[in-house]
Amino acid sequence: MEVWSTGQRLALSVDEVRVLEHTLREPLPNGQVALLAWGRDPVKFSQVEAASITGRVLVVMQFLNSSQELYADVIQPVVREFRLEAYHVGNIHGPGIILNDIVHVLIDASIVIA
């Protein structure tokens, strides 16, 4: 079983098959991990691991050359200093409607710069 949280998204996978995904109202507090279980019989957790995943910064700005220079020369280096990963809306693409891709990245983002 694997549980992960990024931004406001929480997901549960069993045997590498996602069985639950939920969008929280707000992100979980950083640096806290808890395992809770209840039932009539004792519950035992084993082989528990916690890992930190690089946070994402979503950058929403105009598609002008000056904006691209600001993104490349200022925003990306500062974001990297804080060990985060920057995503520019113009670089988000996949099959289907682009708005859906933007919403998914927005939900996963730790920070949004607009």
**Number of residues in the chain:** 114
- Look at 94 and 42; give whichever has higher pLDDT: 42
Domain limits of the chain?
Answer: 1-53, 55-114
Residue 104 has φ and ψ, to the nearest 5°, of -65, -45
Q: What is the pLDDT of residue 40?
A: 93
Which H or E element spans position 65? helix 65-70
Question: Could you report the per-residue pLDDT of 35-80, keeping only the tens digit for each?
Answer: 888 889 998 888 887 776 778 888 888 777 778 888 889 999 999 9
